[in-house]
Amino acid sequence: MKNLIAPHGSDSLKPLYIEDSSERNSLIKASENMPHLLLNSAAAANAVMLGAGYFTPLDGYMDKKNATSVSENMITSDGLFWPVPIINLSKNIDGINVGDEIALLDPNVEGNPVLAIQKVSAIEKLSSEEVESMADKIFGTTDKEHPGVANFLSLGNNLISGKIKVLNFSYFPKEFPGTFATAPEIREMLSKARWSTTVAFQTRNPMHRAHEELCKMALDRINADGVLIHMTLGKLKAGDIPGDIRNAAIAKMVEIYFPENTVIISGFGFDMLYAGPREALLHAVFRQNAGCTHLIVGRDHAGVGDYYGPFEAQEIFESDVVKNSLKLKIFSADHTAYSKKLNEVVMMRDVKDHSKEDFVLLSGTKVREMLSNGEELPQEFARKEVAEILMKYYQSL
């Protein structure tokens, strides 16, 4: 069996999900008599990622000292590289005290069942200036038009830190059966496939021809065994395509257009932050934890609007703290598009003699408009079988 890349900052994965069903059931029972805290979606997503081993080697929510150190310098107070604070910020701390074990309730599942148990090690009040400063470091802006910033500034000012025990994976296994997977499960898939060099492709959208060819380029140039198409299954921004539609479209593309045993399609339970360079680093950390050796980082990776330079998310990997901490490497990509001159999909930076008119380029708005009107997308832009799935969705709206 080929050896997989080591997890980040640890010899082994540290999923915080309680595997033992009798222990889990007794914790659920005990939670009925604990103080309750209804989480926001961001804190719930952090719990799911901690439970699933993606945030190895963290053991819970960070305190103010660690959250500040991570937002400012990308390292925890004990020297672990970490790009984004993993925190439980709350508006309401009524009835919660330091030393308590508290039941963390899931905001995203009907009836708000208990998602995790937290041992409260500290409750610290952050000033609005401190929350804003943290947002500025994570997102590179405090502009409330930025969806990630707007969400972060709405979470509250009470930082509740401490270790957690995770009792379920929220709505993800039920809504995305066969797609949602934990980091240990993905490592198992890679081992079974006998892949030791795996490139991860991050997506929150269906994949068009350009994405398909980008994955094939990475496979070829890295000489990888396979590609993990790894989808964000959590909360997206308005207008993004729902997970089940995206899932069906990607599965169809892989089935028809990729060689057998070169693709694993999976997904993780996290909300998009739209934090550009910092989020690219977080994507790299948890792909290493899932056993991937490489991550495709494209133009404006995890960005939104015009908040980040086109290649900032690649450049941040050149910093010393990153190079000295991550074992995973990135595959730096430019936009890919179909060249009318060459009759193939190319990386735009590789064809210096092309002008914009030489490519088949469609904006997201134009694609949505065409699909809504039942118009076929150009074959150079999208595979027919993929476009049909998307058209059906848009026409149902």
Of 205, 328, 344, 194, residue with least CA distance to 262: 194
Active site residue 194: no
CATH number at residue 46: 3.10.400.10
| Residue 368: pLDDT band with limits 50, 70, 90 | confident
Lowest mean pLDDT across 164-168, 264-268, 343-347, 360-364:
360-364
Same domain, 148 and 207: no
Same domain, 382 and 335: yes
Give tens-digit pLDDT for 63-114: 999 999 999 999 999 999 999 999 999 999 999 999 999 999 999 999 999 9
In a domain, 32, yes or no: yes
Mean pLDDT across the stretch 127-145?
98
In a domain, 151, yes or no: yes
Of 258, 264, 310, 303, residue with least CA distance to 283: 303
User: Which residue among the candidates 97, 205, 287, 324 is catalytic per the annotation?
Assistant: 205
Select from 135, 157, 172 the last residue of a domain. 172
Select from 141, 172, 203 the last residue of a domain. 172
Same domain, 267 and 137: no
Q: Give the global pTM.
A: 0.95
Same domain, 157 and 178: no
The total domain count for the chain is: 2
Mean pLDDT across the stretch 145-167?
98
Same domain, 163 and 179: no
Q: Are 343 and 302 in contact (CB under 8 A)?
A: no
- Residue range(s) defining the domain that contains residue 40: 21-172
pLDDT over threshold 50, residue 335: yes
| Residue 1: pLDDT band with limits 50, 70, 90 | very low
Active site residue 73: no
Cα(271)–Cα(237) distance, rounded to whole angstroms? Answer: 9
Cα(239)–Cα(221) distance, rounded to whole angstroms? Answer: 34
User: Which residue among the candidates 24, 112, 157, 204 is catalytic per the annotation?
Assistant: 204
Q: Are 155 and 86 in contact (CB under 8 A)?
A: no
Select from 135, 152, 172 the last residue of a domain. 172
Same domain, 380 and 243: yes
Give tens-digit pLDDT for 291-303: 999 999 999 999 9
Mean pLDDT across the stretch 340-357?
93
Same domain, 268 and 316: yes
Give tens-digit pLDDT for 215-227: 999 999 999 999 9
Same domain, 81 and 218: no
Same domain, 244 and 305: yes
